[in-house]
Copies of this chain bind each other. A is one copy, B any other.
């Protein structure tokens, strides 16, 4: 398999964790987002959004969108499961993941922040916008799992929720968000970071890290 990504992309980071948990290896093909390499015509031919990640499997299939890729990995390589069997629990975990993947990350991604700069906003306003998006999302996530026993977001092993949480917390720190308000999220992050699958997927461990 080939994973098109970028060390700092939190959506790529989610897929790297999934591959590691499943014990799958992939060739990592970096696309430097700040240099615009994701808009190369050869890349747009496989991912018309010009976003990362894209996963190409050995059989010629091309998969885009991190959550779709992770659910495909979970369906084709079921062990260890990233979603449980119970439909209601699956829905709760997917909802948590979507708070991050739909309502938080896209509102603070590079493309949106670049557009704010085009509208004339400077560093302080752009960073505060990104911090706001993170605070809104993380506060909802904290509420969703406050009463979950843990130590992971949902139970004693990592799920799709943790795969989304850990990269998002890295973003939040980059934008200067005070994370003290989210003790349950930090507890889940600590449990996850004890696992090599998470630690090895971290941005600073990737070959394209700067």
Contact = CB atoms under 8 A, between A and B. Distances in A.
Interface of A: 48-49, 51, 61, 63-65, 67-69, 71-72, 75-76, 87-88, 90-92, 94-95, 98-99, 101-103, 105-107, 111-112, 115, 119, 121, 125, 129, 132, 136, 139-140, 143-144
A204 to B, nearest CB: 25
Contacts of A144: 48, 64
A164 to B, nearest CB: 11
Contacts of A107: 106-107, 112
B49 A140 contact: yes
Given A65-B99, A98-B101, A119-B121, 4 more contacts: A48-B140, A65-B94, A71-B90, A101-B102
Contact of A102 (B87, B94, B106, B112): B106
A73 B121 CA distance: 43
A72 B87 contact: yes
> So how many copies of this chain end up in the complex?
2
B51 A69 contact: no
Contacts of A75: 87, 90
A94 B72 CA distance: 10
A149 B132 CA distance: 42
Nearest to A112: B107
A48 B91 contact: no
A119 B115 contact: no
Nearest to A104: B106
Nearest to A61: B88
A94 B90 CA distance: 16
